Amino acid sequence: MGVAYAWIVRGSFTPGVSSVEYTRFKPTESDMKLTVDKGFFQTKEDVLDDIRASGFWPTTYISDTSPELPLHWHDGDIIGYVMEGETYLLDENSERIPLEAGDRLNIPAGAVHAEGEVTDKVVYIVTMRKCIPMMEGLMMLDPAAYPDPTHLQLDPALLAQLMPSSS
């Protein structure tokens, strides 16, 4: 599996005046590793306080009885709070990490993982950095199709508009 690269884009566009800066960086392994904070919260108010501090967008997700999911990754950061029930996560090495009510899971963009078998309902509050439809944010991306930075190119017409030549 390849390593994803991230792009930081800063700039502005006003007709006739443009400024754009692209910086490519390679996230470290620790940047893309999922973590579970055992017993992180006691009450829903604790969760809501943490969500406010994170600035992420929340929704509720109920996972009914289901088999173990395949390993996958997401293209955005996700923080989940187990409100009810128990299951486990698989990390990138397929090692089990138990989950139960009170746990917070941090899944950075690019972290390979999978939800384990659910034998009884598990209720999560799932939060995402981007305000997008939940199922779009939770789309399971195949580890074999990990992003290749050589395919990240700007449209030449857009690039010319953003950075007009000074000739």
Summarised one tens digit per residue, pLDDT across range 2-36 is 444 444 334 444 444 444 444 444 445 555 789 99
Alpha carbon distance 87, 101 (integer Å): 10
Which overall architecture, per CATH, does domain 28-142 show?
Sandwich (2.60)
What sign does the CA torsion over 152, 27, 108, 23 have?
A: negative
Cα 42 to Cα 21, 39, 104: the distances in Å are 44, 7, 11
State the average pLDDT over residues 100-128: 95
Q: Report d(CA 51, CA 58) in Å as an integer.
A: 7
Q: Return the pLDDT at 144.
A: 80
Question: What is the distance of C-alpha 58 from the center of its chain?
Answer: 13
pTM to 2 decimal places: 0.70
pLDDT-derived band at 146 (thresholds 50, 70, 90) equals: low
> Among 8-17, 64-73, 95-104, which range has the highest average pLDDT?
95-104
Cα–Cα distance measured from residue 140 to residue 130, given in angstroms and rounded to the nearest whole number: 16
Whole-Å CA distances, 97 to 1, 87, 148 = 22, 9, 29
